Structure 1
Amino acid sequence: MLNDKSILITGGTGSFGKKFVETILRKYPEVKRLVIYSRDELKQFEMSQDFSPTEYKSLRYFIGDVRDGERLKRACEGIDIIIHAAALKQVPTAEYNPMECIRTNVMGAENVINAALACNVSKVVALSTDKAAAPINLYGATKLCSDKLFVAANNSKGKRDLKFSVVRYGNVMGSRGSVIPFFLKKREEGVLPITHNEMTRFNITLQEGVNMVLWALEHMMGGEIFVPKIPSYRITELAEAIAPECEQKVVGIRAGEKIHEEMITEADSLTTYDLGKYYAILPQRTVWKLDAFIHNFSASRVPEGFKYNSGTNTEWLSVEKLRSLIKEYVDPNFNSAI
């Protein structure tokens, strides 16, 4: 599917970007060009120690910021596919620096769209977050805005052979700044800070996230927000899985944080379809026939009033399952006993 294609990934030195690059190089060794676009030269240098352009001839490291539309257009020359993973995603940071978050997450998204329109790109997949569903913090609001921009971009492509779609999923297991690495570090102190005893989160591995993006690239018709069917965990059980001997101290919910996350709201149910392994939230206006979408995906409408919430999920990770996943995907040397 991606052999002989040129691909650019924004935010390419992040957790997702590294796993995406690793997967592409393994599965598609004849990829024509794989451009890692990011603003941090140190992270690019460090990544190049593992993925060297000398060894992998398709690799390019391109310094640039999604805020810089002209630089982004230059990077997109000759590109077939864009994976947009760049974002400011720390909730407290976004609350304290709102315009910085808006410039990257909203204006950056618009720059990606304009670059795709200007450079004859054929497909764009943008990464979203569960916090974009009924957002209560600025980060979630900017990602919802970004999602809307990418969905609406399908109406502006004219006669171009170009599709824009979005992939939305929950907490990525072990990603930088997420709760699992935080708990692994804090357990050395003997106390794990719990924001709320009833808090739940969705869970997806990096590889599952990458696989979903590849699936979207293969099947997208343009305008969909794809949502995976993934398990939830309780924050107290995650703490138990990581450090059963530690005290769990309730410290209160942080600003902009929810007790449960959503990926599909009740309002979304009117245009949401079950695709089997995934859901798809469709736009009110599509550039293709709905009957064709239903046929292509063997899709069925979800019931009116349906919502996909981490607290009412039907699939849960047990303490033992969490431990095995942490050992497999986060830290091979993990042991729940210090």
Structure 2
Amino acid sequence: MLNGKRILVTGGTGSYGKRFVENALKKYPDIKRLVIYSRDELKQFEMSQLYPRDKYPNLRFFIGDVRDGARLKRACEGIDIIVHAAALKQVPVAEYNPMECIQTNILGAENVINAALDCGVSNVVALSTDKAAAPINLYGATKLCSDKLFVAANNIKGSRNLKFSVVRYGNVLGSRGSVIPFFLDKKKTGVLPITDKKMTRFNITLDEGVDMVLYAIENAWGGELFVPKIPSYRILDVAEAVAPNCKLDFVGVRPGEKIHEEMITETDSLNTYDCGRYYVIAPMVQLWNMQQWMEHFKAHKVPEGFRYNSGENTDWLTVEQLRQQIKLHVAPDFQV
């Protein structure tokens, strides 16, 4: 699928970007060119040490910010596929610095779209978040705007052989700034801060996130928003898994934070289809023959009033499963 292709990854030095590069190079050794586009020169230098030029002549590192449309357009020259992973994603930071978040997450998305339209790109997959469903914080609101931009971009592609799609998923296990690395660090103090004892979250691994993007690259018709069927966890179970002997300090919900996250709202369900491995939210403006699309994906409409909420999920990670996931995906030397 990716062999012979030229791919650009925005946010390529982040947790997701690095794992995408690692997995893509393993699965598709004949990728023609893979461009790491990010603004952090130190992270690019450190990543380049893992991929020496003599062994990975198809890898390129391109300093740039998605806010800079001209620079992004230059980076996209000759590119076939864009994976858009760049974002400002810390909820409290976005609440305190709203325009910075808007410029990266919304205007940056528009720059990606324009670069794809202008440079002959054939496929764009953008990463979203569960916080974009019925958002109550600025980060989620900016990602909802970004999702809408990418879906609507299919309306203006004209005769171009180009499709835009979106993947939306929950908290990535062990990603920078997420709860498990935070608890592992706080474990040394003997106290774990807990926002609310009822809090739940969806859970997905980096590898599952990469597989989902690869699925969208290969299968999307353009305009779909893909949502994975993944388990939830309870915050108290995470605390028990990481540090059962630590004291719990209940500190209250942070600004812009939900008790439970949603990936599909009741309103979304009007355009949502069960495609087996994934749910798909179809675009409100039809871009293709719906009957043919449903037959192709073996899709069926979800029931009226359906919603996909981390607190109402039927699939839950146990304390022991959380410990296994931490050891496998976050900290190989982890011990209770």
TM-score by length of 2: 0.99
Residue 97 of structure 1 corresponds to 97
**Distance in 2 separating the partners of 1:187 and 1:50:** 30
Cα offsets for 1:175-201 (capped at 9, x unmatched): 001000000000100010000000000
Counterpart CA distance in 1 for 2:50 and 2:242 is 29
SS at match of 2:258: coil
Query: Partners in 2 of 1:269 and 1:207 — Cα distance?
Result: 27
2:29 alignment counterpart = 29
Inter-partner Cα distance in structure 2 for 1:101 and 1:51: 31
Residue matched to 2:189: 189
3-state SS in 2 of match to 1:154: helix
Q: What is the distance in 2 between the residues matched to 1:237 and 1:127?
A: 27
Counterpart residue type for residue 228 of structure 2: P
Q: Would you identify which runs of 4 or more consecutive aligned residues in structure 1 move more than 4 Å?
A: none
Q: How does 1:64-213 map to 2 (within 5 A)?
A: 64-213=64-213
Distance of 1:301 and 1:331 partners within structure 2 = 40
Q: CA RMSD in A?
A: 0.5
Which residue in the other structure is 2:284 paired with? 284
Q: Which residue matches 2:16?
A: 16
Distance in 2 separating the partners of 1:77 and 1:335 = 48
Q: How far apart in 2 are the matches of 1:202 and 1:25?
A: 28
3-state DSSP of counterpart to 1:248 = strand
Aligned to 2:327: 327
Post-superposition offset of 1:287: 1.6
Q: CA deviation at 1:311?
A: 0.0
- Corresponding residue number in structure 2 for 1:45: 45
Q: Structure 1, residues 47-93: CA drift from partner, whole Å, max 9, x if none?
A: 11112233111100000000000000000000000000000000010
> In 2, distance between residues paired with 1:74 and 1:163?
20
What is the CA–CA distance in structure 2 between the aligned matches of 1:62 and 1:94, rounded to whole Å? 26
Identity %: 73
Distance, in Å, in 1 between the alignment partners of 2:118 and 2:292 is 28
Residue type of the partner of 1:56?
Y
Structure 2 residue identity aligned to 1:297: F
Q: Which amino acid aligns with 1:106?
A: I
Task: Give the aligned residue type for 1:124.
Answer: V
Give the 3-state SS of the residue equivalent to 2:167 in structure 1.
strand
AA in 1 matched with 2:17: G
* Displacement after TM superposition at 1:136 (Å): 0.2
The CA deviation string for residues 188-243 of structure 1, in whole angstroms up to 9 with x for no partner, is 00010000000000000000000010011110000010000000000000000000
DSSP 3-state at the match of 2:218: helix
Give the total of aligned pairs: 336
Q: How many angstroms apart in 2 are the aligned matches of 1:166 and 1:207?
A: 17
Secondary structure class of the residue paired with 2:155: coil
Q: For structure 1, which runs of at least 5 residues remain unmatched after alignment?
A: none
* 2:267 alignment partner, SS class: helix
Which segment is superposed worse, 326-335 or 52-61? 52-61
| Corresponding residue for residue 263 of structure 1 | 263
SS in 1 for 2:12: coil
Corresponding position of 1:214: 214
Paired with 2:102 and 2:319, the residues of 1 have a C-alpha distance of: 38
SS in 2 for 1:239: helix
How far apart, in 2, do the equivalents of 1:67 and 1:55 lie?
Answer: 32
Q: Partner letter of residue 26 of structure 1?
A: K
d(CA) in 2 for partners of 1:48 and 1:57? 11
Distance 2:22 2:35 in 1: 13
- Distance in 2 (CA, whole Å) between partners of 1:286 and 1:79 is 27
Give 5+ residue unaligned stretches, structure 2: none
- Cα offsets for 1:296-328 (capped at 9, x unmatched): 100000001000000000000000000000000
Q: Which TM-score applies when normalising by structure 1?
A: 0.99
Instruction: String of CA shifts for 1:116-158, please: whole Å, max 9, x gaps.
Output: 0000100000000000000000000000000000000000000
- Amino acid of the residue matched to residue 206 of structure 1? L
Could you tell me how far 1:21 is from its partner in structure 2?
0.3
Residue 124 of structure 2 aligns to a residue in which SS? strand
**For each residue in 1:255-274, what CA deviation from the matched residue of structure 2 results, as whole angstroms up to 9, or x when unmatched?**
00000000000000000000
- CA distance in 2 between counterparts of 1:253 and 1:234 reads 15
Question: What letter matches 1:310 in structure 2?
Answer: S
Partner SS state of residue 186, structure 1 = helix
